[in-house]
Amino acid sequence: MDLTEHTITVHRNRVEPLAAPATARDRGPKAEAGKRTVAVPPHVVPLLRLHLDEYAGPVRFFVSRDGSPLRGNTLYQAFVRARRKIGRDDLTIHDLRHTGATLAAQTGRRWRT
């Protein structure tokens, strides 16, 4: 993560098999296209810095309360609770990609999906 340049570079991902979550491991993306740099809208940078200072682990941006990697569906479960709370069960995680792409485009930076 380069918050000075407002970018995040993805070079590894966490793989958690549904049948055996205990065997989760980090690895490189399946395809070279999975290794990418994405733009961060300027107004999000202070929030990322706060998250890094308050909650993130030394190696991962998203960690559980005990500092271990998040389980595969943790963010999705939080998203479902949030959308129910605002009465928008019609929203999907994929909608966040569209919003992110729009916000990145508004910064004038390149967005890769």
Q: What is the DSSP track for 15-56?
A: E--TT-GGG-EEE--SSGGGSEEEE--GGGHHHHHHHHHHT-
Top-ranked range on mean pLDDT: pick from 1-5, 29-33, 68-72, 84-88 = 84-88
Whether residue 1 lies inside any domain: the answer is no
Whether residue 21 lies inside any domain: the answer is yes
Whether residue 2 lies inside any domain: the answer is no
Whether residue 67 lies inside any domain: the answer is yes
Whether residue 54 lies inside any domain: the answer is yes
Number of domains in the chain: 1
pLDDT tens profile 74-101: 888 889 999 999 999 999 988 888 887 7
Average pLDDT, stretch 14-30?
77
CA distances from 40 to 9, 34, 43, 92 (A): 10, 17, 8, 21
pLDDT of residue 113: 45
Domain residues for 103? Answer: 7-107
Whether residue 27 lies inside any domain: the answer is yes
